[in-house]
Amino acid sequence: MSPAKLRLAFAGTPEIAGVVLESLIHDRGQAIECVLTQPDRPAGRGRKLKQSAVKLCALQHAIPVLQPATAKELEPDSLKNCDLMLVVAYGLIIPPEILAVPKLGCINIHASLLPRWRGAAPIQRAIEYGDTKTGITFMRMNSGLDTGAILQQMSCSMQPSDTAGTLHDRLAGLAAKSVNAVLTKIINHAVVAIKQDNSKATYANKISKSEAKIDWTQPAVVLERKVRAFNPSPVAHTVINNMPIRIWEAIIKPGIHDLTVGTILHNKASLDIVTGKDILAVTKLQLPGKRMVSAKDFLNGHPELITENIIAN
């Protein structure tokens, strides 16, 4: 059985999964029997229902789409004609009775070098905790959370300027470039499954909006990572002069000071704010309902922030 004749089910939801699905379809014309993805969700200011990236891709190529709301709604019969299921950031825990249906099992593509950063937000946590390397793991799925045997890994360096958005795109490209070659190895029994070392496991918990509120008592190095980790979502934020402000970009300015944490320093080019250690210089920000602007343009419209020491909340 060649990869081109492999009958696949595909389960995934966000953009990274859509990129991999496109690669499966175009690079070798994989036979996709069905696609599983999350139900359409309200999104944006109008709260209109939004289809997932995977659903949009599947519909474009006339692939049947299933959207169970919970794992209990997954039907084993929907996979009975499939040789293998490929899972990329699906968003539901797939129960063992479903994992057992495809003849060759289920393979997960996870955006980290397992066992580091098991769980929902590996890209964001890698940036937040200052990792210098990450990658993609192809893993045989079991009943645990990202605990299955590793089939293959591809690593990539992380850049000091990486946001969750830029790193996501790089990892998506790496996964899409690798998926067909890895499937070839799997079908030809040319990969050796390696058990994960559970003692080295870390967990990437789902990102909450409350985490994105800046705590100015933390060091600037920690806050700068958070700004990048939460870009493009949920976006780091604070309140200045009763104005909610979203922080899209910031840099660290080392310096010794004895000012109150949260104090805004005089600077016309950036919004410099005292942290628990050093200064966080905000360079791009956004007010509610407005577009993102440079800190310089923002300060031109709010000169009081240059002439007064105001405490950021």
pLDDT at 266: 86
Block residue for tokens 């499937």: 183
| Of 169, 15, 20, nearest in space to 107 by CA | 20
Q: What is the DSSP string of 128-174?
A: HTT-SEEEEEEEE--SSSS-SPEEEEEEEEPPTT--HHHHHHHHHHH
Would you state the pLDDT for residue 245?
97
Ranges under pLDDT 70 in the chain: 1-5, 28-30
DSSP state of 75: -
Type of residue found at 73: E
Predicted confidence at residue 251, as pLDDT, reads 97
Q: What is the pLDDT of residue 1?
A: 45
CATH 3.30.70.1560 for the 3-204 domain, yes or no: no
Map out the domains of the chain as residue ranges: 3-204, 209-307
- In whole angstroms, what is the distance from residue 228 CA to residue 249 CA? 7
Is 209-307 CATH 3.10.25.10?
A: yes
**SS3 at position 226:** helix
What is the predicted pLDDT for the residue at 63?
94
Question: Alpha-carbon torsion 25, 30, 33, 35, what sign?
Answer: negative
Residue 28's pLDDT is what?
60
What confidence score (pLDDT) does residue 307 get?
78
Q: According to the model, what pLDDT value does residue 3 have?
A: 47
Q: What's the confidence (pLDDT) of residue 221? A: 98
Burial of 132 (0-12, 13-18, 19+ CB in 10 A): exposed
- 198 backbone φψ class: left, alpha, beta (φ>0; ψ -120 to 50): alpha
